[in-house]
Structures are given as structure tokens and as C-alpha cells.
Amino acid sequence: MTPVRHTRIDGPLVMIGFGSIGRGTLPLIQRHIDHDPATFTVIEPDGTHAGMLAAAGVRHLQVALTPQNLREVIAALFPDRRGMIVNLSVDVGSLDLMALCQELGVLYLDTVIEPWPGFYFGSTVPNAERTNYPLREEMLALGRRYPGGATAISCCGANPGMVSWLLKEALLRLAADTGLATETPQDRAGWARLMQTLGVRGVHVAERDTQVSARARPVGTFVNTWSVDGLLSEGYQPAELGWGSHERTMPPQGHGFDFGSRCAIWIDRPGVDTRVRSWCPGAGPQSGLVVTHNEALSISDYYTVGAGAAPEFRPTCLYAYHPSPDTILSLHEVNGAGLLPEHKHILTEDEIVAGGDDLGVLLYGHAKGALWYGSRLTIDEARALAPHQNATGLQVTSAVLAAMVWAAENPRRGFVEADEMDHARCLQVQRPYLGRIEAHYTGWTPLSHRINRFAELRDDSDPWQFINFLLP
Ligand code: NAD
């Protein structure tokens, strides 16, 4: 079947980083976006996959971007205020790139707000400032300087990213299933009102990665299904979550912020060592790691009715991540050793023998209890759909593809987050790569099952309080 060509990108196309996500994104771009191959460049300091780039006919610029060389390297690639940068790297400062793209008149897209090296580890910056909240506030402040500028999409992979689009579909589904007559909202205020009217108290970005390799994980090697550096960086930031207006009890070691939208709190312990009870369709009740993620902040902010620290309505939102079995063991090892791993490995589609990734949104507290809505993609399906990626990767790369299409179709939107994009158009592009999109209702609450009889914080008067989710 001839693949659908969704759009055209005029001018140079530059991808920064050719790791697991970059390698998976390249074939999707070549399949679905018209562009001039002669002006497609990948900036990647590592030469390991140079052969793959050569075979794909893409220019390889083998250089590591730094704060010192960023302007010189990037400006030379964009002579005439056209083109797009897709930033899929670690260790390259997103905010400097976003500002430079505004100057150059170039479209921009990234999947996280990445700081320059030194932010995550080995710094003396207080924990409150090592959170994502100030990074996001800085991005928003920068964006306010460029209204109507070249479109710059912040944080748009699977999550953050696709989950914001799925959340809108889930809200419309919940409205239909509960008999609420509603039109599709046309603006932020409308979506926030819809969530409030439906009685949603909170949203978990609830993920279960079950992908396994036939080869036992060597002791001392950190194994993951996507960037090891990315997970370690965000995992050892403090846990962070959007803080709902219904919450009554601050968790132990929890702190608010005294600037910006006040939509979030942070907890003075690492996200990978902070667990919540959550729910996913394959596993049912499960634990998830509260790894800080931009969507936890942007979703709580976007769906706020009112403003400030005590709005009329705001949902709690957090990432409840159950990584792959090897990743859980790897984290266990790093936590115990207190040392970053010497060896790192990302499981490829060839070595994974079973499993998949269930990634969706769990909307809770409404008339039907809880609703999980998301993508269920197995490794076999991923292999059949696209080359060079596992199931986790394909959920991310297809979101990047969708965001690139949307940016090309909407080139003068200035800074945007996934919540502000046209979810229907983005999912239209992405859906063929998501396996099954399923909706599951469950009567489960975080108070449903307690095998342990030890004292823990709980609030029996309202199952949906955050402290009921929090594992001791
Ligand atoms: P990876 O670790 O496999 O690859 C990162 C790449 O960045 C490497 O190829 C590395 O050489 C390159 N790089 C490092 N320093 C660089 C520099 N100074 N200049 C240019 N390139 C440099 O990571 P990945 O799995 O491909 O993930 C890429 C990014 O996407 C990470 O930031 C990750 O956190 C993010 N991500 C987001 C989502 C999402 O859903 N939003 C999901 C997965 C990954």
C-alpha cells in the first residue's frame, strides 16, 4: 500500500540526536512527509549508526552541540528562514534552541524540555529548582516573547505529547457514555469546563511496559526500552505532580511552588523511588513510579477553571510508570548502589521476544469510577508497522511524526504544548501506528485492595485523595 503523504516541509530539515527515537522517527518522516532529501541533516556526535544514515541518504553532521557552538552550527544550516528542527537528543538545551529558532524563523519540535548538562546530576542546585516546573515556566515565559512566531512545539512525544490528545478523546467518550450532551469544546476553557462537569478528579498517565528480551540482563547493565540517560535524568529529579483542587493533604515531604500557575507540587525524593497505586488494562491494579513529566504539569494547568493556588477546579495529574521488567531491576540496582551505571543498553525490536506497551490516561473520580483510555501496542505489531523501533519507541516516534505534520500545517502558532494542538488531526496521523486504542472502565479505587496491615496515610472519606494512591 502506498503510504499517505501528510504534508510537505519546505526548506532544511534537521534532526538533532540519532538515538532510539531518532532512528525510529527517520523512516516515518521518509514515508509520510514530502521534503528535499538533499537538505535533510542529522546532527549526532556518535558514529555508531553512520551507516544507517548513509543508506537512508541523509547527511550526517557528526558534532556534539554545546552552548558555545549552538548558534554557529545551527544558523549555518538555515540560510533563508524556512525549515524545521526536530530535537530528539539528550544534553542539548531546548530553551536556547527554541529562542534561536524564533530568530531564524524555523519551526521547532522537542519531546522534553532538556537542559544543558549539569542540571540533573552533580549540581548543587536545590531540589526545588531541579524540578520540571521552573523549566516549564521558563519555556512559557520565553514563548510570551514570540506571539505568532514560528511554531515551536514543546514536549511532544508519546508522554508528554500523545497522552494529551488521548485525554481529549477520553473526555468525549466519557461524556457520551454518561449521557452528557456536549459539543466538542473549541478552546481551553471549554475543555476544562467539560472535565469539571464530568466530575473527573484526576488523571494518571498510566503505563505498563511488558517488553522482555530472551537474554538475561547482565548485572551492572542498565536496560531500558528507550533512552537510559533520559530515564535516569528525569527519574532522579524530584517526583512532581499536578495538584488538584480536591486534594486535602499534602504528601510527606511535599512542597508547593510560590510562582507561576501554582498548578503543581514536588516531593523531596526521586521520582523513581516514589510509587503510587494505579491501574492499566493488562495488569489491572499495579504500582507506578511518579517520574516527573511535563504532561503532569501541562494537563493540570490546561484543565484549570479559575487561577492560582486555590482555583475553582483543577485535576491532579501524574505519570504512573511501570517500566519494563529489566528496567525495574536496573533501577533497583542503581538505587542500592547509589552510582550511575557503567553500561547502558536499549532493548531493540530484534531482541525483544514478547510483551508490549500499554500507554494511556486513567481518568478517575467521575460517575463511572475510573476510565483507562489509551494505546495497546505489542512488540509484534510494532515490528510489522515500522522498522528500527520497539513498541515504546513507535508510540513516541508516531507522535513526533504527527506533531511535525501539525507544525507544518500551522506554522505561525508560536510556542505550544500538546494540549493546545488539534488532537483530532494529530491522532488521525498517528493512529495507524498505535495498535489498539481501547477504553476500559474499572470499579477499582486506590483503597480497593490492601494486603498489608501496616499503618499508612489514608483518607477513607474520599478514595481519590492523592495520599490514598501513594505507596508508603
Ligand atoms: P538516546 O539516549 O537513545 O539518544 C540520545 C541521542 O542524543 C544520542 O544519539 C546521543 O548521541 C545524542 N546526543 C547526546 N549529546 C548530544 C549533543 N551534545 N548534541 C547532539 N546530540 C547529542 O535517547 P532516545 O531514546 O532517542 O530519546 C531521545 C529524547 O527523547 C530524550 O530526551 C528522551 O528523554 C526523549 N523521549 C521522550 C519521550 C516522550 O514520550 N516525550 C519518550 C522517549 C524519549
Quick: pLDDT tens for 8-24: 999 999 999 999 999 99
Nearest residue (by CA) to ligand 1, atom 30, is: 88
pLDDT, tens digit only, all 472 positions of the chain:
688 999 999 999 999 999 999 999 999 999 999 999 999 999 999 999 999 999 999 999 999 999 999 999 999 999 999 999 999 999 999 999 999 999 999 999 999 999 999 888 878 899 999 999 999 999 999 999 999 999 999 999 999 999 999 999 999 999 999 999 999 999 999 999 999 999 999 999 999 999 999 999 999 999 999 999 999 999 999 999 999 999 999 999 999 999 999 999 999 999 999 999 999 999 999 999 999 999 999 999 999 999 888 999 999 999 999 999 999 999 999 999 999 999 999 999 999 999 999 999 999 999 999 999 999 999 999 999 999 999 999 999 999 999 999 999 999 999 999 999 999 999 999 999 999 999 999 999 999 988 877 778 899 999 999 999 999 8
What would the grid cell of residue 279 be? 491501574
CA atoms of 382 and 375, how far apart (whole Å): 12
Three-class secondary structure of residue 141 per DSSP:
helix
Q: Is 219 helix (H, G, I), strand (E, B) or coil?
A: coil
Q: Report which protein residue has its CA nearest ligand 1's atom 4.
A: 19
C-alpha Rg value of the chain to the nearest Å:
21
Ligand 1 atom closest to Cα of 155? Answer: 41
In this structure, what DSSP letter does residue 414 have?
Answer: -
User: What's the CATH code, domain 7-154?
Assistant: 3.40.50.720
Q: CA 313, CA 434: separation in Å to the nearest integer?
A: 32
Q: Would you give the DSSP letter of residue 382?
A: H
Looking at domain 162-392+434-469, its CATH architecture is: 2-Layer Sandwich (3.30)
Residue-range domain boundaries for the chain: 7-154, 162-392+434-469
Q: Give the Å distance between the CA of 100 and the centre of ligand 1.
A: 20
Report d(CA 373, CA 59) in Å as an integer. Answer: 40
**Which residues line the pocket of ligand 1, CB cutoff 6 A?**
16-22, 43-46, 64-65, 88-92, 111-112, 114, 157-161, 226-227, 229-230, 346, 396
CA-nearest residue, atom 37 of ligand 1: 111
Which amino acid residue places its CA nearest to atom 2 of ligand 1? 227
Q: Which residues of 227-238 are buried (b: 16+ CB within 10 A; e: fewer)?
A: bbbbbbbbbbbb
pTM over 0.75: yes
Continuous segment of H or E residues that includes residue 209: strand 202-209
- The contacts found for 305-310 with CB under 8 angstroms, 24 or more apart, are 305/189, 305/192, 305/193, 305/196, 306/245, 307/261, 308/261, 308/262, 309/256, 309/262, 310/245
